[in-house]
Amino acid sequence: MPKLGLGVYQVVGDEAVGTISTALELGYRSIDTAAFYGNEAEVGRAVRESGLPRDEVFVTTKLWNADHGYDAALRAFDASAKRLGLDTIDLFLIHWPLPAAGLYVDTFRALQALKRQGRVVSIGVSNFTRAHLERVIGETGEVPAINQVELHPYYAQSELRAFHAAHGIVTEAWSPLGRGAEFNDSVIIALADKLGRTPAQIILRWHMQLGNVAIPKSTTPSRMAENLAVFDFELSGREMTQIAGIDKGARQGGDPNLVD
Ligand code: NAD
């Protein structure tokens, strides 16, 4: 899976097709969508029309909260695959665990069936806490390939990352740029000035060196290119520690135990 992909939440209609086409031209090879984003058809269209071989573009989509449960999840996957118009999906995620509903293990079993049928290559989860992951692993015997969670310098999730690493789960960062929250941070600005990079590049390079997959969102071609250009410089151990020092445990999005 590419270490950097394009997130396309809130990018819809013609803008979605145009943005994804531009991203693919710029060199992006991974697109993160979801049933909830209402743009799966546009993602599929842009991927098909790119002319790139299908196995060169990694497509992730996610199962929405209304579709938890074994049969509902199978139906939801069919609908997503139809909208995407792709024969196989590279990665299918449970968008939120909804612990109060208590159906995420059954839902994951449906994802296992889809994987066995070859309709999806890899299966994973999103917004799962350690407790949710432990239950899935304990009850199904399968380790989700990936957990996509909110993660940026002000919310660095070091304990969850360590749990992922111990179990071979890939950490994927959503809102990897903290939706801009850290762009004015003095540590990030100082590093950007010192290394001749932008704040976004410093943050994305930090993700790469932590071993995260990151899916920054932008619809501006120059920013999309900027976000991809983080493989020709390195942060020193000391610089990584400086960034670790600005973690505030400050989440922006929903609490996985409460979102329903
Ligand atoms: P982000 O951290 O990617 O920030 C996006 C914001 O930063 C946008 O306003 C954009 O204009 C700006 N930006 C991007 N690149 C920039 C640059 N180089 N310079 C200046 N500004 C720049 O936040 P996000 O959009 O919330 O998250 C990214 C993706 O993560 C989403 O599109 C979606 O695919 C995914 N996501 C998943 C979940 C989930 O529950 N699984 C939740 C939220 C987002």
Judge whether 1 lies within some domain: no
Judge whether 198 lies within some domain: yes
Q: Strand 170-174 relative to strand 213-214: parallel, antiparallel, unpaired?
A: parallel
pLDDT reported for residue 253: 96
Number of domains in the chain: 1
Q: Strand 89-94 relative to strand 58-63: parallel, antiparallel, unpaired?
A: parallel
140 alpha carbon – ligand 1 mean position (Å): 32
> What is the number of the ligand 1 atom nearest to the C-alpha of 219?
11
Judge whether 54 lies within some domain: yes
Q: Which of 9, 28, 37, 104 is an active site residue?
A: 37
Tell me the per-residue pLDDT of 53-66, one tens digit each, with 9 for 90 and over: 999 999 999 999 99
Is there an atom of ligand 1 within 6 Å of 99 CB? no
pLDDT reported for residue 154: 98
pLDDT reported for residue 135: 98
Pick from 251, 260, 244: which is nearest to 149 by CA? 251
Is there an atom of ligand 1 within 6 Å of 57 CB? no
Judge whether 255 lies within some domain: no
Tell me the per-residue pLDDT of 166-216, one tens digit each, with 9 for 90 and over: 999 999 999 999 999 999 999 999 999 999 999 999 999 999 999 999 999
Judge whether 253 lies within some domain: no
pLDDT reported for residue 5: 98
206 contacts 214 by C-beta, under 8 angstroms: no
Beta bridge partners of 148: 126, 172
Confidence category of residue 87, pLDDT binned at 50, 70, 90: confident
Judge whether 229 lies within some domain: yes
Judge whether 254 lies within some domain: no
Residue whose CA lies nearest to ligand 1 atom number 35: 174
Residue whose CA lies nearest to ligand 1 atom number 23: 175
Judge whether 64 lies within some domain: yes
Tell me the per-residue pLDDT of 222-250, one tens digit each, with 9 for 90 and over: 999 999 999 999 999 999 999 999 999 99
pLDDT reported for residue 61: 98
Pick from 47, 48, 93: which is nearest to 68 by CA? 93
Specify the CATH number for the domain of residue 37. 3.20.20.100
What sign for the dihedral angle of Cα 30, 34, 35, 39?
A: negative
Catalytic annotation on 70? no
Domain that holds residue 16: 6-244
Q: Which of 26, 149, 174, 189, when mutated, tests ligand 1's pocket best, judged by the most ligand atoms within 8 Å of its CB?
A: 174
Is there an atom of ligand 1 within 6 Å of 8 CB? yes
pTM (whole model) above 0.95: yes
> What is the number of the ligand 1 atom nearest to the C-alpha of 152?
2
> What is the number of the ligand 1 atom nearest to the C-alpha of 149?
41
